[in-house]
Amino acid sequence: MERSRMFQVRIHGRGGQGVVTGAEMLSIAAFEGGRHAQAFPSFGSERTGAPVVAFCRMDDKEIRLREPIMEPDALIIQDPTLLHQVDVFSGLKKDGYILINTTRTFEQLGLGEFVKWFKPEHLLTVPATELAMKHVHRPVPNVPLLGAFAALGGLISLEAVQAAIRQKFHGAVALGNMAAAREAYEIVMEQEKQAEAHHA
């Protein structure tokens, strides 16, 4: 994965799922890794349950661009029910990354055709809600998804994600979130290994 140019992540979810906090933590993790990062929400009327989008840009130099991310390098989809309601894939770069919070596969989600030409190691699923319930007892999938994102390598490290978690949360919730992030990280690392083996 290139490090020299800007990397743009778009996060889709619903109000109440921590989409905005997720983007913020992603930017903190990038910062911890010594990079410039910019995170901001799409500015729609936010209500619990309504579709929400947040953005995070990362770069090695100052980020001046302020427009919404129209051509993301990576998509994080926190709620698969959005898949057929909102045009989440709009502008996704060819060979971009798609990380979905789900227990199902891309095929089972009805995306098999759509992702046919994507590199398998760019298509990732992680049961983030389940992990969140297990470690933090709240169905907020944003943190496990960040742990999963760290497993993509080259952008943010798991350590940086843990640092971001400690900045945003305290006490038992922080510890729980850190464990959830680690487990998600390991799940995706496993998926990556398998995909690479399949490729080879």
Partner 1 sequence: MLEQCEGSHAVARAVALSRPEVICAYPISPQTHIVEGLGEMVKSGELACCEFINVESEFAALSVAIGASAAGARAYTATASQGLLFMAEAVYNASGLGLPIVMTVANRAIGAPINIWNDHTDSMSMRDAGWIQIFAETNQEALDLHIQAFRMAEELSLPVMVCMDGFILTHAYERIDIPEPEQVDRYLPPYEPRQVLDPNDPVTIGAMVGPEAFTEVRYLAHAKQMQALDLLPELAAEFKQVFGRDSGGLVKPYRLEDAETIVIALGSVLGTIKDTVDEMREQGIKIGVLGITSFRPFPIEAIRAVTEHAKRIVVIEKCFAVGIGGIVSRDVRSAVQSRPQQVFAVVAGLGGRAITKASLHKMLLEAIDDKLELLTFLDLDWGIVNRVLEREKQQRRSGPVAEGILRDIGTVSSKIG
Give the amino acid at 66: R
Sequence-ordered alpha helix ranges (H) in the chain: 19-32, 128-136, 142-150, 158-168, 171-199
As measured in angstroms, the least distance from the Cβ of 141 to partner 1 is 20
CA atoms within 13 A on the CB side of 164: 27
The whole-angstrom separation of Cα 137 and Cα 130 is: 9
Q: Least distance from C-beta 4 to partner 1, angstroms?
A: 16
Q: Which of 9, 11, 19, 37 binds partner 1 (CB under 8 A)?
A: 37
* Beta-sheet pairing, 36-41 with 97-101: unpaired
Pick the closer one to partner 1 by CB: 130 or 167: 167
**Cβ atoms of 67 and 10 closer than 8 Å:** no
Q: C-beta of 112: minimal distance to partner 1 in Å? A: 23
Please state, as a whole number, how many other Cβ atoms lie within 10 Å of the Cβ of residue 16. 15
Candidates 9, 11, 19, 53: give the one binding partner 1 (CB under 8 A): 53
- Please, which of residues 91-150 interact with partner 1 by CB under 8 A? 91
Q: Which stretch binds partner 1 (CB under 8 A): 80-88, 100-108, 130-138, 185-193?
A: 80-88
Binding site for partner 1 (CB under 8 A): 10, 23-24, 27-28, 30-32, 36-45, 50-51, 53, 63-70, 85-87, 90-91
